[in-house]
Amino acid sequence: MDRKKKNLNGEIEERLRKLEKRDFSISGTFADLFGGSRGPVNKDAETGASAGGTESAPGQKSTTGNERSASGDAYPDVAAMLSRALEEQKMLEEKLAASGQPGAAGTSLSGTDNSGAAQSGTGGAEASPADTKFGTDGSRTFPGTDPSHGGTKNQSGETAEKAAGGDASREPEEDPLEQLDSLIGLEDVKRDVKELTSFVRIQKMRKDQGLKTVPVSLHLVFTGNPGTGKTTVARILARIYKKIGVLSKGQLVETDRAGLVAGYVGQTAIKTTEQIKKALGGVLFIDEAYTLSAKDDAFGQEAIDTILKAMEDHRDDFVVIVAGYTDLMEDFIDSNPGLRSRFNKYIEFPDYTVDELVDIFLMNCKKYEYTLDDDAKKHVREQIVLRKMRAPENFANAREVRNLFEDVITRQAQRVAAIEKPTHEDMTRILAEDVAEPAEDMPADKESETDQTDHSDHPKRAEGKPSEGGEEPDQTT
């Protein structure tokens, strides 16, 4: 027993010397664990060299306030050390229980080495008690710990996430089919996606049972005007494909011509291949794909050829969805026999009705904790109708509503900023004056006419259309 205590005390001394050489600070938590009151290490003060101080005699305080004995006998024996550590733990548990913080029960001294010193994930710098996070399994996470490198281990050697069966702080992912159903409008799109999903799932089950399967292309063409939910549905579909087992990862990689085409001959294939590699195991979503098939465009054709080859080489774990205006996407598919043979499933995204656009505006208000009075709701509806009437061919649907929402909350912020002491209601409530004044003398029956506007038969137009690039308005709350 004496030999064990001697070896352990020797190891403690050795660790202290190493920490001093690396010029780390030894904070109060470290000292408390060993029963001393050791302050920050100051090499100059201890040696009496550059700081001009004198070295402390055994048993006396140094000029820096450190209380370590030069004889090395300042530390208690092992039993006393452990006893004090357990007392400190009990006090900490009582404090946590009194404050109602999570992790109060089952807190232990895991995350320490055999000297009892808590080590951070960055390699030796000690964490203070205030910065230490306690897990429900008794593990402690210290500042600087990188979860991607394994996280903080508990006493059994497992990461806290693994011991708990996953990351307890992460909310469970919503089922992709439930998320699809929660989208506003898009009833025909939902039906098409569910039919495709059912067919693909059954074919996968037949294959797993050794039955013959009907070849089916998972590659899709999404057509419709900007802001109609194409990117949102593509993201959900990628997760559905993963859930039913036809894709290994289920991620969505969004790109367009700028992300595929380079400025010099021979570099486009390299740039396109980089995007393909990111999307392997998931979905490559190409917005405004028709811009790749312009006449005499060698760069665009090189990108198309590279994508077609990847679709053949990785047919079992790679899906491509191309998107754009209905008429221009038809020209794009017809421009190359390889495209026509691989993209044979189309999903059309219709424009939102006025009622649906109002619901999307209200959804954004709920998401960001705003409320509208009745007059404000009326003005929002009138603004949507007005914007749709002004540009029936170039109306950006949910994207336009998002722009309107940002305009409204900007005006609301200007109004509230003028209030000396705004209340919670002031900061969350949107008034009619925050919405731009509607046009006067607008015919009452124009709303229903605009509501039913069909843009599917417009002549082909490459110019004057709003860009489909940019972030797709989110319909999730």
At residue 265, the pLDDT reads: 79
Confidence category of residue 215, pLDDT binned at 50, 70, 90: confident
Nearest to 227 by CA among 387, 334, 112, 352: 352
Q: What CA–CA distance (Å, rounded) separates 126 from 110?
A: 14
Q: Could you tell me the sign of the dihedral formed by the alpha carbons of 173, 179, 180, 183, in that order?
A: negative
DSSP string for 325-336 = -HHHHHHHHHT-
Helices (H), 22-157: 28-34, 43-47, 78-99
Residues 149-163 have a mean pLDDT of 39
Residues forming CATH 3.40.50.300 domain(s) in the chain: 176-349
Token pair for 41: 């290490």
By the 8 A CB rule, do 132 and 140 touch?
A: yes
By the 8 A CB rule, do 278 and 269 touch?
A: no
Nearest to 225 by CA among 475, 12, 35, 473: 473
Q: What CA–CA distance (Å, rounded) separates 185 from 165?
A: 37
Confidence category of residue 332, pLDDT binned at 50, 70, 90: very high
At residue 350, the pLDDT reads: 95
Q: What CA–CA distance (Å, rounded) separates 289 from 111?
A: 52
* 140 DSSP β-pair partners: 134
Confidence category of residue 94, pLDDT binned at 50, 70, 90: confident
CATH topology of domain 176-349: Rossmann fold (3.40.50)
Cα within 13 Å of Cα(190), Cβ side: 12
pLDDT at 169 over 70: no
pLDDT tens per residue, range 462-472: 444 555 554 45
Q: What CA–CA distance (Å, rounded) separates 172 from 101?
A: 22
Residues forming CATH 1.10.8.60 domain(s) in the chain: 354-451
Other Cβ atoms less than 10 A from the Cβ of 162: the count is 16
* 255 DSSP β-pair partners: 286
Token pair for 160: 């806290």
Please, is 157 exposed, middle or buried when counting C-beta atoms within 10 Å of its C-beta (0-12, 13-18, 19+)? exposed
Q: What CA–CA distance (Å, rounded) separates 311 from 19?
A: 56
At residue 79, the pLDDT reads: 61
* 14 DSSP β-pair partners: none
Token pair for 57: 């005699």
pLDDT tens per residue, range 335-394: 888 999 999 899 999 999 999 999 999 999 999 999 998 999 999 999 999 999 988 778
Identify the residue with better confidence: 93 or 175: 175
**Mean pLDDT over each residue of the chain, to the nearest integer:** 73
Q: Which residues contact 451 (CB under 8 A, 6 or more apart)?
A: 353, 354, 355
pLDDT tens per residue, range 245-291: 999 999 999 999 999 999 887 899 999 999 999 999 999 999 999 99
At residue 54, the pLDDT reads: 43
Confidence category of residue 59, pLDDT binned at 50, 70, 90: very low
pLDDT tens per residue, range 406-434: 999 999 999 999 999 999 999 999 999 99
At residue 126, the pLDDT reads: 39
In the numeric block, the tokens 């010193």 are attached to: 117
* 153 DSSP β-pair partners: 159
Strands 140-141 and 133-134: antiparallel
Nearest to 186 by CA among 362, 363, 349: 349
Tell whether domain 354-451 is in CATH 3.20.20.70: no
